[in-house]
């Protein structure tokens, strides 16, 4: 099972790099989104809505970017599903991990 | 004392107009500030800081814009002190109220 996967030093390095790459992409996208939203701010309601959007994204990111090896396959599956990472970028991980991640993605895709 | 001030219909109308004018000015200034800050957003830390700034201003505005006649002289004194209103714009209020507001401003000005 997931918790029993063993991560070699090379895999840990590859995982960390992919994790940080995804985080940097999501951060850059959020920065762009905030700039675009802010340009369109016309009144106080838009200002409050902007703050709420940011707080929502902050909680989501805090929740998503959880670098514990025990949950990392789920984290990567979510990042791939959300478009922040591709499976190809996890080429540095062993087949056991990549197949596991693919199974999670396939399983999640079946949900209604 | 402040709670004993009696507000005529004409004074209530003048007070409401001044109150809303100050609020509209503060809102417009916040909209401009948010746009300017958002243009300068370069990374996630700036994004979080922007949300915190907005939330701070929201609480401040909720606290400041308290339209109860029992506290209105203090509200006006604060708005004048913060530059959102001038005493001249309260010309529609009786001397009793304007003198009271001036006393509050003078008193607050003496604080360290």
ipTM rounded to 2 decimals: 0.83
Rounded (10°) angle between helices B72-81 and B9-39: 40
pLDDT bin (cut points 50, 70, 90) of residue B2 is low
Average confidence (pLDDT) over B64-81: 94
| Entry pTM | 0.83
Q: Over 60: is that where the pLDDT of B112 sits?
A: no
Average confidence (pLDDT) over B76-93: 96
Q: Could you give the CA distance from residue A92 to residue B30 in angstroms, rounded to a whole number?
A: 48
Sign of torsion over alpha carbons A7, A12, A16, A19: negative
Rounded (10°) angle between helices B95-110 and B72-81: 60
Instruction: Count CB atoms within 10 A of the CB of residue B49.
Output: 14
pLDDT of residue B3: 64
DSSP, collapsed to helix, strand or coil, labels residue B94 as coil
Give the closest-approach CA distance of B60 to chain A in angstroms: 13
Burial of B70 (0-12, 13-18, 19+ CB in 10 A): exposed
Lowest mean pLDDT across A10-19, B26-35, B101-110: B101-110
DSSP, collapsed to helix, strand or coil, labels residue A7 as coil
pLDDT of residue A107: 86
pLDDT of residue A3: 64
pLDDT bin (cut points 50, 70, 90) of residue A108 is confident
pLDDT of residue A8: 95
pLDDT of residue B108: 77
pLDDT single digits (tens) A42-88: 999 999 999 999 999 999 999 999 999 999 999 999 999 999 999 99
Phi-psi region of B65 (alpha: psi -120 to 50; beta: other; left: phi over 0): beta
B38 touches chain A (CB under 8 A): yes
Instruction: Produce one character per residue of A20-38: b if its CB has 16 or more CB atoms within 10 Å, e if not.
Output: eebbeebbeebbeebbebb
Q: Could you give the CA distance from residue B32 to residue B11 in angstroms, rounded to a whole number?
A: 32
Size of chain B, expressed as the number of residues it contains? 112
The pLDDT mean for chain B works out to 92
pLDDT of residue B109: 65
Average confidence (pLDDT) over A85-94: 96
Average confidence (pLDDT) over A32-44: 93
Indicate which of B43, B54, B58 best probes the interface with A, i.e. most A CBs within 10 Å of its own CB: B54
CA A71 to chain centre: 12
A107 touches chain B (CB under 8 A): no
Q: Name the one residue in this structure whose structure tokens are 């830390």.
A: B45
pLDDT of residue B97: 94
Q: Could you give the CA distance from residue B85 to residue B26 in angstroms, rounded to a whole number?
A: 10
pLDDT single digits (tens) B86-107: 999 999 999 999 999 999 999 8
Q: Name the one residue in this structure whose structure tokens are 């001044």.
A: B18
Smallest Cβ distance to B34: which of A27, A50, A55?
A50
Indicate which of A42, A44, A50 best probes the interface with B, i.e. most B CBs within 10 Å of its own CB: A44
Q: Could you give the CA distance from residue B36 to residue B42 in angstroms, rounded to a whole number?
A: 12
Torsion, Cα B95 B98 B104 B109, to 10 degrees, reads -120
């Amino acid at each position: 099972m997931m918790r029993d996967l063993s991560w070699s030093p090379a895999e840990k390095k590859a995982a960390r790099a992919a994790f940080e790459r995804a985080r940097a992409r999501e951060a850059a996208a959020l920065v762009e989104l905030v700039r675009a939203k802010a340009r369109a701010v016309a009144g106080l309601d838009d200002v409050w809505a902007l703050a709420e959007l940011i707080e929502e994204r902050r909680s989501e990111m805090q929740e998503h970017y959880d670098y514990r090896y025990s949950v990392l396959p789920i984290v990567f599956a979510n990042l791939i599903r959300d478009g922040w990472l591709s499976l190809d970028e996890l080429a540095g991980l062993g087949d056991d991990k990549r197949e596991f991640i693919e199974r999670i993605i396939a399983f999640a895709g079946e949900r209604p």
